[in-house]
């Protein structure tokens, strides 16, 4: 019956688990909206309301900063600046003797959630994936 009404099973249990782990951050996000966690289960703030709020929190919300501390600091602007810095370093390197010989390439700025190039370069699987991407395995 719940599916017929558009509800998903386990919604309250999922929210409860999220509340157990991140209650302080959720409380803060609710305070910003003029609500309180103690209102949960009343006509002012139902479980469906909380689900909608949590599902559509902005990127700068306390919950997302708590759940993804490293990644939440990097927005589009930070990624673009890192790309610009990497490009400038690569261009400067390309004009050196090392660049002409293809050695000692500068290490890109490590982005959140990614390993440094030195930690991930050189495996056969990744080389095969790159060759597939470039169309060289056809």
SS3 85: helix
What confidence tens digit (pLDDT) does each residue in 22-44 have? 999 999 999 999 999 999 999 99
Helix (H, G, I), strand (E, B) or coil at 75: coil
Q: Sign (positive/negative) of CA torsion 116, 117, 118, 123?
A: positive
Q: Cβ distance 93 to 106 under 8 Å?
A: yes
**SS3 assignment, position 40:** strand
Q: Give the global pTM.
A: 0.55
| Structure-token match 């609710």, residue found | 30
Segments making up each domain of the chain, as ranges: 11-73, 76-134
> Would you say residue 111 has pLDDT above 90?
no
């Amino acid at each position: 019956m719940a599916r017929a009404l558009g509800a998903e099973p386990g919604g309250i249990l999922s929210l409860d688990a999220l509340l157990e782990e991140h209650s302080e951050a959720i409380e803060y996000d609710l305070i910003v909206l003029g609500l309180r966690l103690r209102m949960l289960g009343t006509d002012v703030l139902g479980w469906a309301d909380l689900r909608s709020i949590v599902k559509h929190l902005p990127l700068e919300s306390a919950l997302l900063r708590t759940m993804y501390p490293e990644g939440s600091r990097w927005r589009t602007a930070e990624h673009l600046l890192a790309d610009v810095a990497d490009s400038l370093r690569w261009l400067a390197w390309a004009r050196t003797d090392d660049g002409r010989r293809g050695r000692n390439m500068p290490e890109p700025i490590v982005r959140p959630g990614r390993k440094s190039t030195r930690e991930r370069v050189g495996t056969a699987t990744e080389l095969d994936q790159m060759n597939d991407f470039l169309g060289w395995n056809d």
